[in-house]
Structure 1
Amino acid sequence: MTTFLTKLTMDFFIAFGIVLGGSMLGGMAAVFILQPPAVYMLKIAENIKIWAMVAAVGGTIDPLRVIEFNFTEGYLSPAIKQILYFIVAFIGAQMAYHLIQWICEGSGSS
């Protein structure tokens, strides 16, 4: 049970960190090229969410194969665990996206 909770926590923070870090660094790059950073940060945060989820759960198609194989073989517990990993990674990416939106609100670009 602790390895399951550990992986859930790691997936959440990995997805959160990818969106937050990628957006913040993209905002810095926008400053260097004399563009409005808030606009770029929002675009990057929106576009990177799906990739943050994929990276958090394993980075390949294998997690989906695990769900398919276990579900078709009747082993629901591993399939449900894998689905929960996706859900938690989605929540982490979405929370980071909303944090970026909140940060960019004050800049007048929203």
Structure 2
Amino acid sequence: MKDTFMSLFILSYFIALGVMLGGTLIGAFGAFLIGKPPLSYMVTLANNLKIWALVAAIGGTFDTFYSLERGVFQGATKDVFKQMLYILAAMGGAQTGATFIKWLTQEHMGP
């Protein structure tokens, strides 16, 4: 069964959101177990996980680069546009997760 554009777009957003929330919350539990302050560590984890949430959401970089290459060199501009929208959805999910963590910890997350 082939996924539609909209289903992959929505999945990209929620996968990135899930990586951010899950990774940060479980990482904070690990910080608690080793005696570090969990809430402060959550902010550090959220900042560090953003790029990994993006990579996980788009399914690895090789498929995306292949689609971008095909779009640029073979004239498939529709594929380039779709990949950019998938990346934007993943960035939105990662930023939403980081914002949730910021609200939860009431700390400034930095740039």
TM-score in terms of structure 2 length: 0.89
Shift of 1:31: 1.2
1:1-110 mapped onto 2 (5 Å cutoff):
3-105=4-106, 110=108
Q: Distance in 2 between matches of 1:12 and 1:62?
A: 17
Shift of 1:74: 1.4
- Percent identity, aligned pairs only, is 39
Q: Secondary structure of the residue that 1:61 maps to in structure 2?
A: helix
Deviation beyond 6 Å, 4+ runs, structure 1 = none
TM-score in terms of structure 1 length: 0.89
Q: Residue deviations 1:47-74, cap 9 Å, x none?
A: 0111111111012332022112212221
Q: Distance in 1 between matches of 2:32 and 2:16?
A: 24
Q: Residue deviations 1:24-55, cap 9 Å, x none?
A: 00111111112111111111111011111111
Tell me the number of residue pairs that the alignment of Structure 1 and Structure 2 aligns: 106
For structure 1, the 5+ residue unaligned runs are: none
Report the aligned-residue RMSD: 1.4
For structure 2, the 5+ residue unaligned runs are: none
Q: Distance in 2 between matches of 1:30 and 1:51?
A: 19
